[in-house]
Each structure stands twice: as C-alpha cells, then as structure tokens.
C-alpha cells in the first residue's frame, strides 16, 4: 500500500535520538581501476579495498539502540562511477519482503539506501535505493522541505539477490548522472546508509545515530573523503523520441458509429547538457507529453475547488526541486502542450538557480475565488518564463527570489517575490514568502469572457515549526488578496486570511514492547475573507496507535463551522482510519468520515458519509495488484441527495525490473435525486468506465518503449429507467512511444 514517505525511506524524521549527539564520523573512500560487473556478487577486487561502514543504529522505533541485524555498506569509486554495495543479514531469509516491480515502487519491501550530499552543505542529497531483487528507487531529499522527491530519475545500474543469510545488493552510479563541485582538489561529501526492515513492526537502521532534537537530517550525516580525479565529462545526453497514436471517437455521441481517426506520428528530441559539473541545461523540441501514466482516480463530487494531478513528464521532473517555494507559484502541469522548452538548473557554491522558458499551444487557467474556482482552457499560444534564485545563508538557512511570466498577445500574468528559510535553533524552523502579481485579461473562451480586466494582488505565507522526539508543533499564517493570480502555479483560492496551529505529543513504547507508539494531537484553524467574512473555522483532537502487523489506527473528531453562500453550518464530524500489513503480500488501508456535511450544490446541511478502502495484493514475486473503492453519500429529509462511487482495479505482471504488462480499470457512478436539487435539470446519473492496457520496457528512465490501448465508455440518457443507464463507447486510443538515451 502507498505509505507516507517518512514511514519508510525517511522514517528518520520520526526517529528517536541520543541526548548528546556524537561527532560526525569520517571515512575515506578508495579508488579502483578494475572493471566491476553489477550482478550482486561482490567478487571484484574493488570491494576488498572499499570503505566499510556498518549500519549499527536502530533509529525507529528504537532509541538509537544497537541494530538487531548486521548491515554492511561498502563504497568505492573509479574515474567514471561511484560504487556501493550492501550486505544485509537476516536470521529468517524467508521473511524478506521483495517483489519485482517498476522503478520507484519499493513500498512494503525490504530495501537499502545510500544518501549522498556531494556539495557538503546540508541542503539537499541524492538517494539511491535497491530492494533485494535489484529494483531501483532514486530521488532528491530537500532539507528545506524535509522530505524526499521521487520524481528525479537517474541512469544507474543495480542488482540484488537473496541468499541463505539475507540479501546482497550492488550498484554503480555514473558521475555523469550526478552534480558535484567542479574542483581538482580532493572532495569530501556527506553521506549515510539506511536499511528498511519491515516485519510486524517496521524498523530502520542507519549508519549514524539521529538526534530528534535536531530536525536537520543532513547536518548529522557522516563524512566521506578521497574523491579526486572525477568529473562528468561532456555530460551530453540526447534522447530522440517517436510517438505514433490513433484516436477513434464517436463525434455525435451517443449517435453514430465510432469513427477511426488518422494515425499521427510525432518525432521529438530531448537534450541534456552538463554545462559544468554544477549546471545542467535541458532542451526539448516537439515533445510528446501524452499521459502514458493514467492519472490517479479522484472523486470530483461536491467539491468547490480545482483538483490537482501530479506531474509525470520527464522534462519538467528533472531539477524540479530548484523551483520549489512555500506557495506553489509554479506548477508545470499548467503547461499543457508545449512546442519547445528550455531549462537551466544547478548550484554554484552557495547559489542555486533555475530558469525555464516554454511555449505552450494552449492557455490553461485556474480562475480562483474565495469559495470556489473554475478551470478555463483557451485556444491560444502562451509563453511561460520562470526564474528562481536561492542563496545559502549560514549553516542551515537560505533566502530566495522567484519570478514567473505567462504571456500572450492579449494576456499576461507576472509574479515576483522573496522567501526565506531559517533554522535559528536545531528543533526550530521558520519559513516565509511574499509575492506580488500583476495580471491583464483581454481574452474570451466558451466558458468565460474578460474585457481588458487588470488585477494586482499580494500573498504572504509564514510558518514556524518546532520538532523534537516527543513534541511537534507549528503555527501557520496565510494572507492572499482578491486580485492575486499565479496562473503558472496551482493557486485555487484567493481573498482570504488563514490561521492554523497544531500541537502533538508522542508517547514511545518501552524497549522490547509489542507496540511502537501512541500519539495525541490537537489544533485549530480559521479562514476568512479579507473583509472578515467567515469561510471555515474549527478545532480538532486526534489520537493514533502504532502497533504490531504495522498497524496504524487513528481517530479524529472535530467541530467545524462552515459558511457558504451567506449561510453558516455547524458540523460535528468524526474521522477514523487504519493502515495494516497482516502479511508481507497483503496490505489494507482506509478511512471513514461520518457526520453532517454541506451540500454545496444546494447550500443545505445534509448527513454525510464518505469512505475509502484500498487493498494491495502481491502474488509471488511478479504480480502486484491494487483494489481501491471510494464512496460519498449525502442524505437530507430521509432521502438520498446524491451517491457517488469510484472503483479502480490495477494489476501488473512484472516480467523483470525493466518490463511489465499492466491493466487499469476505473468505474465511476454518481446518482442524484433531482427533486432535492435547486437545479432540477441536473443529471440523474453519471456513469463511465475507463480502461488502459500498457506494455512497458525501460532500459533506463529515458530509454523506454511503451505500447498501449485506452478505452472510454460513457453513460447516456437512453433508457426509460434513469437508474439503468446504458454504457456506450465514446472513444479509444492506440499509442506507441519509444525513446533512447544516447550519451556520446
């Protein structure tokens, strides 16, 4: 099942610590000159001379206790590659949890990770993870965000095998895939190793103790020195792509037949050039940005604001962390259909920068308001320019600037501002950002029309957080004016002030206990317009229990006052949920919500029920299956107002870590009672089925082949019984995509 990242790879952020933290250990890496075969067998001479580091500390849930199993990390290098291996012993090898899967999917697996901070500045780190069968996961850990981003993908090699005493993984990372200081001197990097050990209670082991009173993870990393004579060379990567697709549709749905569309062929090119060891330039021409990956299913019923879907396109994913700010003023999925794009990202000494320009053939806009938002798509070309600069200050702080410009012949939106991140004391962090926007609309679409409308606005965010082993708290304040627009980002609400605070206490189980911890937290919030009109306010109390079988059970009652369309509703609600792994191949999670809710379509109070249930099932080493169901119901006057259901079944057969065949089925069904709606012409029923079949081969993240089929069936009002809606095929798509990464 999909778990929060801190519950696996970054569990260190929830870990315990020693009252007195020892000094960071120093290691020296040795350079080898013989060929290394990445096969999970450590028989080359380079491993005999490699630096050996033991993962001696259990950091979660233990209190920096001695690790109960032995894990040995070895690190070496030659002129072209960084090498690392792990030998992970296990008293019960049959209990090792591992499945062959697509890259970046190591949830609920045993795995090991190497974090490296080549700039030795405790700001960001690359991490490389491998499960016992050689499946890869990689990403970037950002100290300012305090989390890891799996969207970054590197070209590297890995292998793994299960033995009679545990498992062994072996990996090589080309220096071409990394960024590090350009110097002829010997380099010293920060690093640490991690082993995730999922059993009845999941544990993690580290190569250093973790001080929970210091929420700077990379500040506590070990040092490794001896890197010299390394460089990424020209670091030029060319990725030509070809995409062939055919889109068939029923143009007069539901009338007529399905008509075959023309076969379209597009050729594109992605270029990556390491201008220096510090800076990377990306260029894309006529890219294929079709969604090979289906968007995660979301239930879009009784919502006021736009839904957000994750970015999956390679050009935008690389170096995306350089553009992060507290407010999401840049969100690359607003660039829908670019004809070209150029991006420069990197870090030189204390200066991190990102610059992007892209020409989009469609102008997608979110029109934000105080109590709702609209999505508008305008058929016009628009140019996007984004600039980001960040300067390191002191040991753990920084200050940054952001500028975005989204512009066409009759429209522009410009955003500029400043932000900072401070860590004046190890447990304390402070973040703030101010932005100003100028916008001109003189555009028209089928949905809405503007006539030379000009807006200006401001936004201010402030957050202070305190985190130790036993206590966690934060206070957050946001102020956003009515004229604020960030069309290159994701900002669905404006004209408000929001206050939010939370205090949490963790009670850790004694050493050797059958459970992990118990948590309690409470907090409150208030959001109102700039004029003082209430949107929502309330408070909550919550408790959670973490126990055997990786059980996490939580319960959260709250009291909320929601104002909408001039009416105030008092809502006493109860939320509860769970996450459990009764067996290594079975995981179940879900949540339930009970109590009154606001029917936004009719501005009336109703009795609400919503829940989500999800099960992850693994069969053997090759089959991975997920079943998910979501339900929302509103009742009023002892009658159903609406009932919405969304079901998804996803199954994949993974032939090996590079190849899989996957099927996705999504079923949506919404039933409304028109007699209880102010707009009695509302559809009684909406029904749809989405299906996708995908065969995927990935030599590496950029060298790929995809063959797929997508089918959409839609319900239509063709039956005498409105509850018996016939489903009719609306369209279908066949597609083929291939790309190859060439490094001259």
pLDDT computed for residue 147 by the predictor: 79
pLDDT at residue 29 tops 90: yes
Question: Are 87 and 45 found together in one domain?
Answer: yes
Strands (DSSP E) contained in 509-637 are 517-528, 534-547, 551-564, 567-583, 586-599, 604-619, 623-636
pLDDT-based confidence at 336, cuts 50/70/90? confident
Q: Which of residues 24 and 604 earns the better pLDDT score?
A: 604
Range of lowest pLDDT (325-339, 496-510, 588-602):
325-339
pLDDT computed for residue 145 by the predictor: 76
Question: Are 88 and 221 found together in one domain?
Answer: yes
pLDDT computed for residue 283 by the predictor: 93
Of 122, 119, 97, 93, which Cα lies nearest the Cα of 108? 97
Question: Are 12 and 146 found together in one domain?
Answer: yes
* Residue range 369-397, pLDDT digits in tens: 999 998 888 888 999 999 999 999 988 89
- Residue 556 falls within a domain, yes or no? no
CA-CA distance, 740 to 734, in Å (whole number)? 21
Q: Which residues, other chains included, contact 70 with Cβ-Cβ below 8 Å and sequence gap of 6+? A: 54, 87, 88, 89
Question: What tokens appear for 175 in the block?
Answer: 């220096």
Please name the residue ranges forming H helices in 201-322: 314-317
Can you tell me whether residue 186 is helix, strand or coil?
coil
Of 150, 136, 134, which Cα lies nearest the Cα of 10? 150
Q: Which helix (H) or strand (E) holds 48?
A: helix 45-48
Question: Are 222 and 240 found together in one domain?
Answer: no
pLDDT computed for residue 444 by the predictor: 62
Going by DSSP bridges, is the β-strand pair 203-206/685-698 parallel, antiparallel, or unpaired? Answer: unpaired
Can you tell me whether residue 372 is helix, strand or coil?
coil
pLDDT computed for residue 485 by the predictor: 96
Question: Are 61 and 210 found together in one domain?
Answer: yes
Per the prediction, the chain carries an average pLDDT of: 89
Question: Are 91 and 46 found together in one domain?
Answer: yes
Range of lowest pLDDT (229-243, 497-511, 721-735):
721-735
| Contact indicator for 213, 144 with CB cutoff of 8 Å | no
pLDDT computed for residue 12 by the predictor: 36
pLDDT-based confidence at 717, cuts 50/70/90? low
Question: Are 248 and 213 found together in one domain?
Answer: no
- Residue 268 falls within a domain, yes or no? yes
Domain-ending residue, one of 227, 243, 261: 227
Separation in Å, CA 22 to CA 27, 187, 211: 15, 23, 9
Strands (DSSP E) contained in 584-622 are 586-599, 604-619
Of 598, 647, 609, which Cα lies nearest the Cα of 627? 647
pLDDT computed for residue 706 by the predictor: 94
pLDDT-based confidence at 206, cuts 50/70/90? very high
* Residue range 242-281, pLDDT digits in tens: 999 999 999 888 888 899 999 999 899 999 888 877 788 9
- Residue 640 falls within a domain, yes or no? yes
Whether the pTM exceeds 0.75: the reply is: yes
**Domain ranges, residue 266:** 234-275+286-301+601-744
**Overall average pLDDT of the 329-339 stretch:** 90
Q: Which of residues 701 and 224 earns the better pLDDT score?
A: 224
Question: Are 725 and 664 found together in one domain?
Answer: yes
Question: Are 209 and 254 found together in one domain?
Answer: no
Can you tell me whether residue 586 is helix, strand or coil?
strand
- Residue 585 falls within a domain, yes or no? no
Check which CATH number belongs to the domain holding 82 and give it. 2.60.40.1190
Q: φ, ψ for residue 162 (rounded to 5)?
A: -90, 135
| Contact indicator for 328, 488 with CB cutoff of 8 Å | no
Query: Taking the CA atoms of the chain, what radius of gyration do you get in angstroms?
Result: 27
- Residue 408 falls within a domain, yes or no? no
* Residue range 450-464, pLDDT digits in tens: 667 899 999 999 999
pLDDT-based confidence at 295, cuts 50/70/90? low
pLDDT at residue 298 tops 60: yes
- Residue 266 falls within a domain, yes or no? yes
* Residue range 77-126, pLDDT digits in tens: 998 999 999 999 999 999 999 999 999 999 899 999 999 999 999 988 99
Question: Are 143 and 271 found together in one domain?
Answer: no
Sign of CA dihedral 21, 23, 396, 227: negative
Domain-ending residue, one of 227, 245, 261: 227
pLDDT computed for residue 692 by the predictor: 94
Question: Are 180 and 254 found together in one domain?
Answer: no
Q: Which residues pair with residue 125 across a beta bridge?
A: 141
**Overall average pLDDT of the 211-227 stretch:** 90
- Residue 448 falls within a domain, yes or no? no
Q: φ, ψ for residue 540 (rounded to 5)?
A: -145, 160
Of 365, 364, 363, 346, which Cα lies nearest the Cα of 355? 346
Question: Are 223 and 247 found together in one domain?
Answer: no
Give the count of domains, the chain.
2
pLDDT computed for residue 20 by the predictor: 41
- Token pair 């952001």 is found at 402
- Residue 427 falls within a domain, yes or no? no
């Amino acid at each position: 099942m999909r778990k929060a990242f801190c519950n696996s790879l970054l569990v260190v952020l929830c870990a315990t610590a020693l009252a007195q933290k020892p000094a960071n250990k120093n290691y020296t890496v040795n350079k080898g000159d013989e060929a290394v075969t990445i096969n999970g067998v450590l028989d080359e001479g380079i491993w005999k001379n490699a630096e050996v580091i033991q993962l001696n500390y259990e950091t979660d849930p233990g209190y920096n206790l001695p690790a109960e199993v032995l894990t040995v990390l070895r690190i070496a290098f030659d002129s072209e590659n960084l090498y690392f291996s792990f030998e992970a012993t296990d008293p019960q090898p049959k209990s090792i949890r591992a499945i062959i899967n697509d890259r970046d999917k190591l949830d609920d697996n045993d795995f090991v990770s190497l974090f490296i901070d080549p700039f030795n500045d405790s700001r960001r780190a690359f991490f490389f993870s491998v499960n016992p069968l050689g499946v890869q996961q990689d990403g970037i850990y950002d100290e300012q965000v305090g989390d890891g981003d799996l969207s970054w993908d590197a070209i590297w090699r890995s292998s793994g095998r299960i033995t009679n005493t545990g498992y062994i993984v072996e990996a090589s990372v080309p220096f071409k895939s990394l960024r590090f200081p350009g110097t002829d001197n010997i380099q010293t990097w920060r690093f640490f190793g991690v082993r995730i050990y999922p059993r009845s209670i999941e544990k993690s082991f580290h190569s250093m103790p973790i001080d929970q009173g210091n929420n700077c993870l990379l500040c506590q990393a070990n040092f490794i020195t001896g890197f010299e004579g390394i460089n990424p060379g020209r670091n030029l990567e060319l990725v030509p792509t070809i995409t062939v697709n055919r889109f068939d549709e029923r143009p007069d749905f539901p009338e007529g037949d399905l008509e075959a569309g023309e076969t379209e062929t597009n050729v594109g090119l992605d270029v990556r050039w390491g201008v220096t060891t510090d800076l990377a330039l990306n260029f894309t021409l006529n890219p294929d940005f079709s969604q090979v990956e289906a968007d995660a299913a979301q239930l879009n019923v009784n919502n006021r604001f736009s839904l957000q879907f994750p970015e999956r396109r390679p050009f935008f994913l690389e170096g995306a962390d350089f553009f992060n700010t507290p407010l999401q003023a840049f969100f690359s999925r607003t660039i829908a259909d670019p004809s070209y794009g150029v991006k420069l990202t990197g870090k030189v000494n204390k200066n991190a920068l990102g610059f992007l320009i892209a020409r989009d053939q469609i102008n997608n806009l979110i029109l934000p308001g105080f109590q709702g938002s609209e999505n508008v798509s305008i058929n016009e070309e628009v140019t996007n320019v984004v600039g980001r600069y960040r300067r390191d200050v002191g040991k753990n702080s920084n200050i940054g600037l952001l500028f975005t410009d989204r512009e066409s012949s009759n429209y522009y939106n410009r955003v500029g501002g400043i932000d900072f991140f401070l860590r004046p004391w190890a447990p304390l962090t402070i973040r703030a950002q101010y932005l100003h926007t100028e916008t001109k609309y003189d555009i028209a679409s089928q949905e809405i029309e503007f006539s030379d409308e000009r807006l200006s606005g401001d936004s201010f965010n402030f957050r202070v957080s305190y985190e130790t082993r036993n206590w966690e708290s934060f206070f957050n304040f946001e102020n956003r004016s009515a004229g604020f627009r960030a069309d290159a980002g994701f900002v669905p609400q404006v004209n408000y002030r929001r206050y939010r605070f939370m205090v949490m206490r963790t009670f850790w189980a004694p050493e050797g206990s059958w459970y992990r911890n118990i948590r309690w937290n409470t907090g409150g919030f208030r959001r109102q317009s700039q004029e003082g009109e209430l949107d929502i306010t309330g408070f909550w109390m919550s408790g959670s229990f973490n126990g055997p079988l990786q059980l996490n059970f939580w319960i959260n009652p709250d009291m909320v006052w929601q104002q909408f369309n001039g009416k105030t509703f008092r809502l006493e609600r109860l939320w509860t949920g769970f996450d459990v792994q009764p067996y290594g191949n079975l995981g179940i999670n879900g949540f339930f919500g009970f109590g009154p809710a606001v029917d936004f379509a009719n501005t009336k109070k109703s009795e609400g029920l919503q829940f989500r249930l999800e099960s992850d099932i693994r069969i053997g080493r090759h089959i991975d299956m997920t079943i998910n169901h979501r339900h929302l119901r509103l009742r009023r006057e002892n009658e159903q107002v609406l009932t919405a259901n969304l079901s998804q079944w996803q199954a994949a057969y993974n032939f090996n870590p590079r190849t899989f065949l996957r099927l996705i089925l999504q079923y949506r069904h919404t039933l409304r009672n028109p007699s209880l709606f102010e707009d009695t012409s509302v559809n009684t029923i909406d029904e749809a089925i989405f299906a996708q079949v995908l065969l995927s081969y990935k030599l590496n993240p950029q060298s790929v082949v995809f063959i797929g089929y997508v089918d959409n069936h839609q319900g239509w009002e063709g039956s005498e019984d409105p509850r018996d809606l016939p489903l009719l095929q609306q369209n279908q798509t066949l597609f083929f995509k291939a790309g190859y990464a060439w490094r001259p």
